[in-house]
Amino acid sequence: MAAISADIVVRAPRTRWLRETIRRHPTVVAGSLILLAMVVMAVFAPYLGTVDPIAVAPVKRLRFPSELYWFGTDAYGRDVYSRTLYGARVSLQVGLGVAFFATVFGLAIGLVTGFVRLADALLMRVMDGLMSVPPVLLAIALMALTKASLGNVIIAITISEVPRVARLVRGVVLSLREQPFVEAARAAGTSLLRTLWRHILPNTIAPVLVQATYICASAMITEAVLSFIGAGTPPQIPSWGNIMAEGRLYFEIRPYLIIFPGLFLSATVLAVNLVGDGLRDALDPRLARRM
Amino acid sequence: MASIKRGLPRLAAATVLAALLAAPTHAQTSGKTIKFVPQSDLRVLDPIWTTAYITRNYGYMVYDTLFALDEHLHPQPQMVGSYKVSDDKLTYTFTLRDHLKFTDGMPVRSADCIASLERWMKRDALGQAMALAVGEMKATDDRTFSIVLKKPFPLLLDAIGKLSSNVPFIMPERIAKTDANTQITDPTGSGPFKFLKDEWVPGSKAVFVKNPDYVPRSEPPSWAAGGKVVKVDRVEWDVIPDSATAAAALNAGEVDWWEQFPPDLVPMLRRNQDVVVADTDPLGSVGVARFNSLLPPFNNVKMRQALLYILDQTDIMTSVAGDPENWKACYSVYTCGTPMASDAGAAPLMGKRDPAKAKALIKEAGYNGERIVLMTATDQPSINAQANVIADEMRAVGLNVDLQAMDWGTLVNRRASKAPLDKGGWNMFFTWFGGADMLNPSLNFPLNANGEKGWFGWASDDKLVALRAQWMEASDFATQKKIAAEMQEEAFTSVPYIPTGQFVMPTAFRKNLKGVVPAPVVFLWNVSKE
Amino acid sequence: MFAYLVRRLLATIPVMGVVALFVFSLLYIAPGDPAAVIAGDFATPEQIAAIHKKLGLDEPFLVRFGHWLWAVLHGDLGISIFTNLPVTQLIGQRVEPTLALTLTTLVVTIVFAVPLGVIAAWKAGTWVDRLVMIVAVAGFSLPAFVLAYLLILAFSIKLDLLPVQGYVSFRDGFLPFIEHLILPSITLGLVYGALIARFTRASMLEVLSQDYIRTAQAKGLANDQVLLRHALKNAAVPIATVIGIGVALLISGVIVTETVFAIPGIGRLTVDAILRRDYPIIQGVVLLFSAAYVLVNLLVDVSYTLLDPRVRY
């Protein structure tokens, strides 16, 4: 008993911290937990009672959810539970992939345009042009050019998101450029690259990180929309958008084909949004009030 | 933008008026209009240029035919009032019925018929066969013309009374003179309906009104033959791309008739007391798995034969059509339930599935894991279902399948490519034909194995080509039947394609529609709305 | 003011130029040969070559871009590959439903979302605020088509209150016109409304924390007076901006909404064209939507002068 109580004493501040966090940011904690669950699900999909998500078995098609098929089966007799779990992989890949690449390219373009006038004139015109094409429309127009593949979906959505990041970064850079500490560094002969690296980049991280979470959320929705209208991930890949696209025919007789993947998608996107809000509050109180 | 310009000044007045006149319920449609949801979107107005079923159906609305097939598979006179066949069976003389008139007000003349047949004979496979036999077509007077043959062509009336694509519709001479490879766009015809081109919104709506000048025959309707009496004022084809939405619209009475829908929805629609679900198509449709015979590995006949042993019509058809009442296995290259059908030579496809035998054949063919590109159209459920099941069955015997999804429009373009795989080529695609297109060797065109000139996949089998010519010259049923069976045996040896089963595409309409004509093609005459 | 307008208008030219170049490149780099598509299944290579020549497909990129741009500036967006009809005609036929749907959604959403945002800000930290914000975040997270099916299932099929699909022109009756727009508008407006509500709340909070508001309150002005006369007025500019930017969401949403509800508008034309790779239509639609988006944001910019007396050009 003594040992245990000693343990409790040691742990106490940490539990209090945890309890405090939950009390003050219940939504962020909930979001993080959901997200964690999704990641675990995606990574360990093969070990969570799933079967081959693309093996067809017409004999047992369109079965309602039961003990055997937790989420039922689809029109080809494929197990919807397995497909939904594997679907998490696709959505997370798209969300994280787009968030990562859009951030990297957006940062690069934003930094350059913020400092180099010639590049600014040229690149920002292109960015303005791309930005005036609504993102989903831009993504489907790009998908019309190439064949359906997960990589192409990520590229198409990334291209439609880059201008927004670039614009955000450029705004931050422009406001920093005239700051005394930057001017001082430049005056002291610090190279442009080094200035960007040492002084500018660190200041862009907070807003970009917040932006990245929102991009991640909207990319997952966009992937579902693209798949839904038939211009997205190839149908043999079990993405949530594809499961719903194939299931929509049956939504009156087999609503679970839409409900389960829809639920998972909404929950994941919601979780990412909540985490994004939390990040924003933590990193940038001013931005918090603005958004 | 014109519609806004016209619309805005009227907006105020219209709003007030409309508010006064507004209909109380949403489910109302005007009494004499049929709102019809067609199987696909009408895009091309030339039924001679394209074989698309939707354009064929449009053709039956606006055009008339010289002869038409009845439910006993006999061609009956339609526009023709009387006809004579010379004793040597080489001269056919036709006299048109009275009062035939095009919608532009001009009477139908012999010259119109001859020009229309000439254009059709350039495009249609049976027409091309007929062209080889025709010496000349000449007009005796405005209403009488004759077709003089160089050699006997027993199928002449079957040809000009052909039921399915391409149907030899009769158009005004000025339009029929258009080059056969150029699409016509003028909808002038002499059929029971008139097409309102101004109200046509491709992708959404096509509107027809009753042709007041049309004089129907007096016989009762029987497939395309008999009297085409129009009993409504207006027919609107409303395209609803989303099947789930279309089902809900029919249930709610927002549309009157849904031409064709996924059989899985049958039980749901049956539950509605106000909806009639019917199998009006006695021939059904036939699934086809087609090889590209030019490219490896399917340029090797052993590879094609191997698939006969693994394709399982029960699995395929269950995915295509669900409940067994909607489909049956059909181990024939001719539409099952019609005279030419048999199971001659079909043993490899019929028996218990034999993966071991397939693997042996694949090995003999020297297949070594090369990529096999299958094309599927995700917007066509009955095609996509075939592709998914067959891909899975092929993977199971170790074939390296690359199932590429696209829409039907893209597939139609891509299947024309003879290029190798890395340049956009393909190995297999899947489709279906109306049973009316597979009745016999003269109609079945995947069976017409005339090599690179032939249908996509370019199967080449001289024996099949020779037998087909013999079949067309055969004048009695027993000979036809014998040759047809021989052809089928050959078809299950050289395997230009594999039949994947026969299924019905049910149709559903509101209970207040009466007089729907059961036929392999959907017809909108004889239907009244009560 | 006039000079500003002209300047803003001129500034849209390079933007639209980039869009035009992008849109043209779509066709240029698109896989497949449009000539082969136009010629049909049974065309000979000579026929395809003739069409190539007729369409000028063998010219260099810039020459073709020049020809194309010239035609576009004269209102000619080319001919649809699949229907052989002019793209302008196909788009023209479909303007009304899309305009009706987006304008209704725009107005209704603003009427609901702005007050909700204001209330949330006013009651910041209470359960009202929490509720509004949770609904707003949920609005971001639910894909439009899932919402659409749920709405059809509930209101059209189970309760039989509203039509399932289709569009009725206002010329054919005002009530049916509105009835047919209710579910699509909700579907389309949810994300947009969520964005506006969130942003309104944030802008209001920012303004409410400013000194002059505290002064006004200290002077004893009633709360609602402060809220409306001072705070909302000052928050109007950022709110207007986000309304303009959010139109992009509406345009994206139209594509899905029109497909599910079978509304014969430009959004459905877009989906059909994408699925059939009908590039001239895709070009026309992207160009049109982008122009609409730029125009809306231009109007928003101009509206600043009306919303905020301090803004003068």
DSSP collapsed to 3 states, C204-244: HHHHHCCHHHHHHHHCCCCHHHHHHHHHHHHHHHHHHHHHH
User: Which chain C residue has its CA at the smallest distance from B42's CA?
Assistant: C83
Please tell me whether the interface predicted TM-score (ipTM) of this complex is above 0.90: no
Report DSSP state, residue B423: G
**C45 vs A238 pLDDT, higher one:** A238
> Cβ C164–B181 below 8 Å, yes or no?
no
Q: pLDDT per position in chain B (530 positions), as tens? A: 333 333 333 433 433 334 333 433 333 344 589 999 998 888 889 999 888 899 999 999 999 999 999 999 999 999 999 999 999 999 999 999 999 999 999 999 999 999 999 999 998 989 999 999 999 999 999 999 999 999 999 999 999 999 998 999 999 999 999 998 888 999 999 999 999 999 998 888 999 999 999 999 999 999 999 999 999 999 999 988 778 889 889 988 999 999 988 888 888 899 899 999 988 888 999 999 999 999 999 999 999 999 999 999 999 999 998 888 889 999 999 999 999 999 999 999 998 999 999 999 999 999 999 999 999 987 788 898 999 999 999 999 999 999 888 777 678 778 888 889 988 899 999 999 999 999 999 999 899 998 888 888 999 999 999 999 999 999 899 999 999 999 999 999 999 999 999 998 889 999 999 999 999 999 999 999 98
Provide the number of CB pairs (under 8 Å) joining chain B to chain C.
Answer: 138
SS3 B276: strand
Task: Check whether A25 has a pLDDT greater than 90.
Answer: no
Contact A58 B378 (CB under 8 A): no
Higher pLDDT, C40 or C158: C158
DSSP class of residue B264 equals: G
Per-residue model confidence (pLDDT) at position C308: 65
Question: Which residue in chain C is spatially nearest to A230 when comparing CA positions?
Answer: C275
Q: What is the pLDDT of residue A188?
A: 82
* Phi, psi dihedrals of residue B344, rounded to the nearest 5°: -55, 125
The number of angstroms, rounded, from the C-alpha of C271 to the middle of its chain's C-alpha atoms is 15
Other beta carbons within 10 Å of B355:
15
Nearest by CB: C269 against B15, B50, B203: B203
More confident residue, C212 or C158: C158
Judged by average pLDDT, the poorest of B362-366, B393-397, C54-58, C81-85 is C54-58
Distance between A143 CA and the closest CA of chain B, angstroms: 12
Q: Decide if A277 and C14 are in contact by the 8 Å CB cutoff.
A: no
On whether the CB atoms of residues B500 and B266 are closer than 8 A, the answer is no
Share of chain A above pLDDT 90, in %: 31
pLDDT at C309: 62
Confirm if C216 and C210 have CB atoms less than 8 A apart: no
Please report the residues numbered 8 through 67 in chain A whose beta carbons come closer than 8 angstroms to any beta carbon of chain B: 54-56, 58-59, 61-62
Q: For residue A275, give Cα distances in angstroms to A40, A224, A269, A270, C143.
A: 17, 21, 10, 9, 19
Angle of helix C266-275 versus helix C233-260 axis, rounded to 10: 50
Output the CA–CA distances (angstroms, integers) from residue B432 to A166, B335, B436, B503, C17, in the order listed: 50, 12, 11, 10, 46
| pLDDT tens-digit map of A195-244 | 888 888 888 888 888 899 999 999 999 999 998 888 888 877 899 999 99
Do B254 and C164 count as a contact with CB atoms less than 8 A apart?
A: yes
Cβ contacts of A224 within 8 Å, gap of 6 or more: A91, A232, A239, A240, A241, A244, A265, C143
Burial class (CB in 10 A: 0-12, 13-18, 19+), B40: middle
Is 80 exceeded by the pLDDT of residue C41?
A: no
SS3 call for B421: helix
pLDDT recorded at residue A10: 47
Residues linked to residue B513 through DSSP beta bridges, in sequence order: B529
Determine whether C44 is exposed, middle or buried from the number of CB atoms within 10 Å of its CB (0-12, 13-18, 19+): exposed
Chain segment C86-100, per-residue pLDDT in tens: 999 999 989 999 999
Give Cα separations from A273 to A38, A270, B35 (angstroms): 14, 5, 45
Subunit contact B319:A62, Cβ cutoff 8 A: no
Which residues between 181 and 220 in chain C have a beta carbon less than 8 angstroms from any beta carbon of chain A? 198-199, 202-203, 205-206, 209
Tell me which chain B residues have a C-beta less than 8 angstroms from the C-beta of C277: 409-410, 413
Which of A56, A234, A251 is nearest residue B392 as measured by Cβ atoms?
A: A56
**Residue C43 pLDDT class (50, 70, 90 cuts):** low
* Residues B319, A61: C-beta atoms closer than 8 Å: yes
Smallest Cα–Cα separation from C92: which of C263, C252, C266, C248? C266
Q: How much is the pLDDT for B493?
A: 96
* pLDDT on residue B1: 36
A 157-196 → B contacts, CB under 8 A: none
Rounded Cα distance between A87 and A92, Å, is: 9
Choose the closest CB to B264 out of A147, A148, A250: A250
Distance (Å) from the alpha carbon of A106 to chain C's nearest alpha carbon: 18
End-to-end CA distance of chain A: 51
Residue C172 is encoded by which pair of tokens?
């054919």
CA distance readout (Å), B376 to B107, B398, B457, B500, B522: 46, 20, 15, 15, 26
Q: Tell me the pTM.
A: 0.82
Question: Crossing angle, helix A201-228 and helix C127-141, to 10 degrees?
Answer: 60
| Percentage of chain C exceeding pLDDT 90 | 20
Cα B107 to Cα B100, B104, B113, B143, B273: the distances in Å are: 6, 9, 12, 10, 46
Pick among A227, A250, A257, A258 to test the B interface (most B CBs inside 10 A): A250
Residue C158 burial by Cβ neighbours in a 10 Å radius (0-12, 13-18, 19+):
exposed
CB atoms within 10 A of CB A276: 24
Higher pLDDT, A181 or B78: B78
Cα angle, residue B487 at apex, residues B485 and B489 outer, rounded to 5°: 70
Whether residue C4 has pLDDT greater than 90: no
First-to-last C-alpha distance (Å) of chain C = 5
The reported pLDDT for the residue numbered A191 is 81
- Between A and B, how many residue pairs show a Cβ–Cβ distance under 8 A? 63
Contact A114, A192 (CB under 8 A): no
Q: Residue B100: what pLDDT?
A: 96
Pairing mode of beta strands B428-434, B275-278: unpaired
The 10 Å CB-count burial string (b at 16+, else e) for A49-65 is ebeebbebbbeebbbeb
Does residue A20 have a pLDDT over 80? no
Tell me which chain C residues have a C-beta less than 8 angstroms from the C-beta of B204. Answer: 94, 264, 268
Q: What are B481's two structure tokens? A: 């039947």
Which residues partner with B194 through β-bridges? B209
- AA identity, residue B102: F
C162 at B interface, C-beta within 8 A: yes
Q: How far is CA A224 from CA A71, A102, A234, B220, C189, in A?
A: 19, 18, 12, 52, 18
Chain C, nearest residue to B44 by Cα: C83
Q: Where are the beta strands (DSSP E) in B142-233?
A: 144-149, 169-170, 193-195, 205-210
Structure tokens at C181: 């727009």
Q: Does B55 touch chain C (CB under 8 A)?
A: no
CA distance B405 to chain A (A): 6
- Chain A residues within an 8 Å CB radius of C285: 137
- Neighbouring residues of A12: CB distance < 8 A, sequence distance ≥ 6: none
Within the 251-290 window of chain C, which residues sit less than 8 Å (CB to CB) from chain B? 259-262, 264, 268-269, 271-272, 275-277
* Of A275-289, B30-44, B193-207, C123-137, the least confident: A275-289
Check CB contact under 8 Å for A249 and B262.
yes
| Residue B30: per-residue pLDDT | 46
Chain C residue whose CA is closest to B122: C42
Mean pLDDT of C8-27: 85
